[in-house]
Amino acid sequence: MAERGSRTGRARRTTLAGALASLALVVSACGGPASGDDAFAGTVLDNPYQVDPAPLTATDGSSFSLVDDTDARLTLVFFGYTQCPDICGVVMAQLASAVQQLDDADREDVQMVYVTTDPARDNEGVIRSYLDRLDPSFEGLTGDLGTIEQVASSMAVGFTEEDRLPSGGYEVTHSTQVLGIDGTDEVPVLWTQDTTATEYAADIHTLLNS
């Protein structure tokens, strides 16, 4: 990972903000997302979410803020938990496959961050092992529940712990969108849980090369 908060990283991320603004104008002028093989699969938001800067904890134990410590041109964020029985694994597998489809230049300009919605079970080591099976370059974050909820809420992500299962475990109901943070520390674009790896890769390339 590049040095956090570097001036160069900030300048490169700001450049992407202009590309996202241009894409939003195109989508708006067309009355919605384009159709066909070259369609943009993500949703460009009319009112971007402002990311809360509260620090969480990275898998190496260091403090990590989604505002201060994301210095790639595009940062993708997903909130989930390692014991999720279905959707989380599918979304994360699609993202890992998408990163593998990127060329070297695009891969250097995108960062993937996974934030747990289940900090009681997902400590740093558990998250690191989970992500290493997908892509060792992915960053993982945990922290106290209140701070995670605060950061998640700023990005329109909600989650709740459900009833205990007969096995003794429990499920966590949570939002499943993947969010894109740009150089202004806002989320102007997001993707649904049904987005494919090919669609992610194409959208990332579009955003980084507009």
pLDDT digits (tens, 9 = 90+) for 17-30: 566 666 655 544 44
Cβ count within 10 A of residue 106: 18
The answer to whether 23 touches 44, Cβ cutoff 8 Å, is yes
Average pLDDT, the chain: 83
**Ordered DSSP codes for 17-50:** HHHHHHHHHHHHHHTS---STT---SEEEEEEEE
**Residue-level pLDDT at 11:** 42
d(CA 162, CA 102): 37
Q: How sure is the predictor about 164, in pLDDT bands with cuts at 50, 70 and 90?
A: low
- Burial pattern 23-59, b for ≥16 Cβ within 10 A else e, equals bbeebeeeeeeeeeeeebbbbbbeebbebbeebbbbb
Domain covering 7-209: architecture: 3-Layer(aba) Sandwich (3.40)
d(CA 135, CA 95): 9
Q: How sure is the predictor about 196, in pLDDT bands with cuts at 50, 70 and 90?
A: very high
Residue 163's contacts (CB-CB under 8 Å, 6 or more residues apart) are 170
